[in-house]
Structure 1
Amino acid sequence: MSVPDWVQDAVFYQIFPDRFANGDPNNDPPNVQPWGSQPTIWGFQGGDLRGISNRLDYLLDLGVDAIYLNPIFRSTSNHRYNTLDYFQIDPKLGDLDDFHTLVDRLHRRGMRLILDGVFNHCGRGHFAFVDVLENQEHSPYRDWFHIRHFPVDAYSPGEASDYLAWWGIKSLPKLNTDNPATRQYLLQVARYWIEQGADGWRLDVPNEIDDDSFWAEFRHAVKSINPDAYLVGEIWKADGRWVGDGHFDGLMNYPLRECVLNLLHPAPSDTSGCAALLENLTRLYPYENVKAMYNLLGSHDTERALTALQDNVSRLRLAYAFLFAYPGAPAIYYGDEIGLTGGKDPYCRAAFPWDETRWNQELRGWVKFLIRLRKSHPVLRRGAYVHLIADNRRHCFAFARRLGDQSLLAVYNTGAVTRHLRVPVQSVGWEDGRHVRNLLGQGEALVADASLYLHLPPFSAMWLM
C-alpha cells in the first residue's frame, strides 16, 4: 500500500466555504445574511471560492500546506451535504473557472486541496431522484435508490418511509451503490474532480456505505489518476478496518480529539487512560497510516475547541502543543487559531472575522510557532511514538518521538498546579550528562540517573531535544 508521502509533512486547514471569505458579492443569494451575523441552520453569508483564493497568503503565513473544503457542489443548503449536481460548482460559490483559479494558486504555493465527497446520499433535488418522484416505478433511476415501496413521497411531513434516507431525513435519499449504474456514476465523479486538480477526497459517512468492494474500486479510480491523492474517511471510532489498500490512507481522528479535550477539561480526567488510548491509536493501524491520520481538535460537526475547553486559552495552547507533537497530520478548523468560539452546529460555523482587532494574536502566534517547529524537525513529522509516563495524581504525561538517532521528548502538565516531575529516558537513548533544551521556551535540563528532572508550570508543555 502506498500512502502519499506528503501527508505526514502537511498541516491541514478546514474551511466551511460559506463562512471563510466573500470574494465575489455578485454570486451572493438574494437572502444573504450580513457577514458575521449569528449563524443559522439555513442562512447564507456569502463566502465563496474566490474569497478563499484571495486569502491564501494568510494561510501560507500561518504555515498551512493543505486545505480541506466542506462540500462545494450545487446544493440548496449552506453546508451542501444535500448534493443536487456532483459535476457543478454551486453558483453561490462560483464556477469551474473559480475552482481552477483556486487550484492553480494553491499549487503555485506548494499547497494542496482536499474535497468533501458525499456519496452515501444526495439531495432530493438530484436529477435521478427527481425522475423517480415524477415517474415513480417507471423511472429508469428507480434502482439508484433504496425504494421500499411506491408511490414515493419526499415532501410530506415526517421521516422517510418509502425509501431509505440518511437518518430518515426525507431530503437526503440514500444512494444504492450496489447498482452498477449508480456505482459507475459516483466513480466518475471521483475521477472527474481529481482530473480537475483536486488532491484528494475526504469521504463523508463512509461506514454507511458498508461495502468494501465499493471503497476498493473508489480507491483504485482515484489512485489510477493521481497515486499521490489523499483519501481520508470520516470514521468517528477507532477501527482498523477502514485503512489499507481497500479503503483510506487515513481517518478523521475523532478519538484523538475526544481524548485530548477530556484530558484538558477542567473536570477530573483519567491521565493514564488517555495516555493508553493515545498509545493504542499508534498501534491499531500500520504506522504509515498513523502518520497520515487527520488529527483534529474541532470540525463543522463539533463545538469549537475553545468552547469545549470552557474558553480557557491556556488549555487550548496546551492542546495545540500536543497536536503538533503527536504522530499524524495536524488539522486546524478555520478560526480556531484566532480564538473563535461556538457550540455545535450551526454555532461552530460562524463567519471568519477579517478585522484583526478581533483576533487573539497571541494564540495565532503560538499556533504559527508550533507549525514552524514541526516543519523544522523531521522527528515531529516522521518519528516513531514512544510512551514514557502517565501520572493520574499529578496530571502529567510524557512521550517521545524517535527518528534514527534523533529523539524529542514531549512533556505535559495538564493541571492547575506547578509540578516537579521525573521522566525516565532510557528508552529515548539519552545518556547521563546530556544537556537538552526546551524548544517551546527557555530552559535546559541535564540527564542524570537515566532521567530528567523537570519543573512544569500549570497548563504547560516542554519539547526537549
Structure 2
Amino acid sequence: MADPGWVAHAIWWQLYPLGFVGAFPAAQPPAADEHRLRRIVGWLDHAVQLGASGIALGPIFASRTHGYDTTDHFRIDPRLGDDDDFDHLVAEARRRGLRLLLDGVFNHVGTDFAGYREALDGGPDHPASAWFRRRGESFHTFEGHGELITLNHDEPAVIEHTVAVMRHWLSRGTDGWRLDAAYAVPDRFWAQVLPQVRRDFPDAWFVAEVIHGDYPAIVQAATVDSVTQYELWKAIWSSLNDRNFHELDWALKRHNDFLATFIPLTFVGNHDVTRIASQLANSAHVEHALVVLLTTGGTPSIYAGDESGHRGVKEDRRGGDDAVRPEFSSPPEDSDVLRLHQHLIGLRRRHPWLHTATTSPLLLTNTHYAYRTGAGAESLIVALNIDDAPWALSLPDLAVPSGRVVAGSGAPPHEDITDTRVPPHGWLIIDPH
C-alpha cells in the first residue's frame, strides 16, 4: 500500500486550534459568533513562508473541554465557530495550495455525546448501549479518565458512524485524518472503516497515533498509511541530552526498517509533549534536532511555535498540557530559529527524495555522528557535533572524496572541500561528489 502521491511533498504545520485561538482553557469560553476559527486564516501565509504544504489541525469538533471529549463529530466546536467558518478556512487554505489534516477521535467520546446519554438513561438493554464498552455494570473509560467513554469497536453502528464522519469532512474539502489514540483501538476496526472511506476518497491520507509497538505490523493490519514515529522523536532529544549518539544511530536503523514498509510521520514536537526548546538541556542542540528531522525519511511535521523557539513543559497533572498549547496572537517576527526552519525546509523541498531516504552511519562516537542520507543515486552527508571542541572532519576518511557544504553552523564554504571543521555544538550538511 503506497501513500497518495501528494504526500511525497507534504510538510505539515501542526496546531492545536482550541488553545491556539484562546478558546481553551479560558475563563469565559468564546461563543460561536466570535468566529475564532477564522483567526487561523491569518496564519496561513506564515505557514507558506515557513515552507509547509499543509495544516494539521487538532480537534475542531464539538466538545466540552479539551476537544478530545467529542460530543458531536458533525458539528464544529461552538467555541471555534460554525460551518461557514470552517468552509472559509478550507477555501483560504486551498487558495494558498495548503492541504488540511483533521484530528479524529474515534476511540472514545465525551460524556455529553448524545448516544452515551441515551445509553446511560436507557440501561444495558437500550440499543445505544451497544455503542460502548462495558466493565461489569459500568462503562469502560479511556485510560481511567471518567469523562472519556470508550466506544465498542465491534459494533457495526460505530463502524458506520466513523465512516460517515470521515466521508462528511473529506467531502467538505479536507485531505486526511490523524487517528487519535489509535494504539487503543483494535486494528480490525480501522481495517473495516478505511477501505470504505477510500472507495470514495482514494487520495485521502490516514496516520495513526501510535506510541510503542510493531509499527509495520500495525500499518499492515490496520490498513493505515502511516503512524507517528515516537521512537525517533525520543531518540533525537535523548541522545542529544545524554551525549550518546549511539541511541540515535540505533533508532535510525529501526527507522530504515520502517521505511521499507511505510513512511512514518516524523516530528520533534507536537501538542502532547514538552516543546523541543524546553526538552533539550542545551538550547544550541535545537538545531541538531531539526537537522535530523529534515534530513531523514518521513513526512515531517512542525508544531506551531517551535519554529520561533517557544518553550513549554508538559506536566503529568490536570491541565498539564496547557503550557504546550498556548494562545497565539500574531505571526512571529523574523528570528534565527525561524530562518533555520525555513532554510532546512527549503533544502528538503529542493531534495524531495528525502521523503524516502534511508541513513547509514559513516562515523559514530558519543558526541560525533556523521551519516549518509540517501535514496537511489541521491545523497547528502550530515555531520553532527555536540562536543565542546571543534571536530576536524576528513571526507576521505568517510569514503567521500570531496563535497560542498550546503548548510551548517558558522559560515560554511561553498567551494569543493576534502577537509573541514564542524564547530563545537555545530553541524554541517555536505553535498558529496
User: CA contact under 8 A between 1:445 and 1:453: conserved in structure 2?
Assistant: no
Matches within 5 A, 1:318-337: 318-337=288-307
Fraction of identical pairs, as percent: 31
Matches within 5 A, 1:38-437: 48-77=36-65, 79-150=66-137, 162-210=138-186, 212-237=187-212, 239=214, 240-244=216-220, 246-265=222-241, 268-286=242-260, 289=262, 292-310=263-281, 312-344=282-314, 345-354=321-330, 356=332, 361-392=335-366, 395-423=367-395, 430=400, 432=401, 434-437=402-405
User: CA contact under 8 A between 1:299 and 1:333: conserved in structure 2?
Assistant: yes
| Distance (whole Å) between structure 2 residues aligned to residue 200 and residue 3 of structure 1 | 11
Runs (4 or more) in structure 1 with deviation over 4 Å come to 27-30, 423-427, 444-447
Counterpart in the other structure of 2:318 = none
Pair 1:28–1:283, CA change in 2 (3 A) = closer
| Distance (whole Å) between structure 2 residues aligned to residue 182 and residue 264 of structure 1 | 44
Q: CA-atom RMSD, angstroms?
A: 2.6
**1:70-129 deviation line (CA, Å, top 9, x unaligned):** 11110011x200000011111111111211221122122111111111111000110111
| Distance (whole Å) between structure 1 residues aligned to residue 405 and residue 26 of structure 2 | 55
Structure with bigger strand share is: 2
| TM-score, scaled relative to structure 1 | 0.84
Pair 1:99–1:455, CA change in 2 (3 A) = same
| Distance (whole Å) between structure 2 residues aligned to residue 163 and residue 226 of structure 1 | 34
| Distance (whole Å) between structure 2 residues aligned to residue 397 and residue 424 of structure 1 | 16
| Distance (whole Å) between structure 1 residues aligned to residue 352 and residue 360 of structure 2 | 16
| Distance (whole Å) between structure 2 residues aligned to residue 29 and residue 398 of structure 1 | 47
Residue 423 (structure 1) shift: 4.9
User: CA contact under 8 A between 1:318 and 1:461: conserved in structure 2?
Assistant: yes
Q: Which residues of structure 1 form unaligned runs of 5+? A: 34-45, 151-161
| Distance (whole Å) between structure 1 residues aligned to residue 19 and residue 124 of structure 2 | 41
| Distance (whole Å) between structure 2 residues aligned to residue 376 and residue 285 of structure 1 | 21
Q: Secondary structure in 1 aligned to 2:382? A: strand
| Bigger Cα displacement from structure 2, 269-278 vs 174-183 | 269-278
**What is the one-letter code of the residue matched to 2:42?**
N
Residue 276 (structure 1) shift: 1.9
**1:158-179 deviation line (CA, Å, top 9, x unaligned):** xxxx121101222111000111
Residue-pair matches, total:
420
Residue 406 (structure 1) shift: 2.8
**1:362-413 deviation line (CA, Å, top 9, x unaligned):** 1111111111111112343344433322112xx1112222344332111111
**What is the one-letter code of the residue matched to 1:439?**
A
Pair 1:379–1:186, CA change in 2 (3 A) = closer
Q: Secondary structure in 1 aligned to 2:372? A: strand
| Distance (whole Å) between structure 2 residues aligned to residue 257 and residue 368 of structure 1 | 20
Pair 1:197–1:107, CA change in 2 (3 A) = same
Residue 424 (structure 1) shift: 5.5
**What is the one-letter code of the residue matched to 1:217?**
Q
Counterpart in the other structure of 2:407 = 439
**1:433-455 deviation line (CA, Å, top 9, x unaligned):** x44233335225767xxxx5431
| Distance (whole Å) between structure 2 residues aligned to residue 147 and residue 91 of structure 1 | 30
**What is the one-letter code of the residue matched to 2:172?**
Q
Pair 1:412–1:226, CA change in 2 (3 A) = same
| Distance (whole Å) between structure 1 residues aligned to residue 119 and residue 68 of structure 2 | 20
Q: Which residues of structure 2 form unaligned runs of 5+? A: 315-320
